Amino acid sequence: MNSGLEESMIIFPSQYLETNEDCQNEQLHHLQNQVRNKDHIMGEVVVQIREVVDHL
C-alpha cells in the first residue's frame, strides 16, 4: 500500500515541474514577442526620425 502513496508522491512533483516548465515557456514566448514588438516599433521610430532629419 505504501508503494502507491510513494509513487503518487513522486508523480505529483514531476507533474508540477512539467506544468511549471510549460508556464515558464509560455511566459518566455510572451516576453520574446514583447521584445520583438518593441524592436519593430523602435525601428519605425528611427525611420521616422531620419525622415524628419532629411526634411530639415
- Residue 18's domain comprises 1-56
Please give, one letter per residue, the 3-state secondary structure of 5-42. HHHHHHHHHHHHHHHHHHHHHHHHHHHHHHHHHHHHHH
Predicted TM-score (pTM) of the model is 0.62
Residues 7-55: pLDDT tens digits? 666 667 777 788 889 999 999 999 999 999 999 999 999 999 999 999 9
The angle at the Cα of 29, spanning 25 to 30, to the nearest 5 degrees, equals 115
Name the DSSP class of 2: H
pLDDT at 16: 78
Domain count, the chain: 1
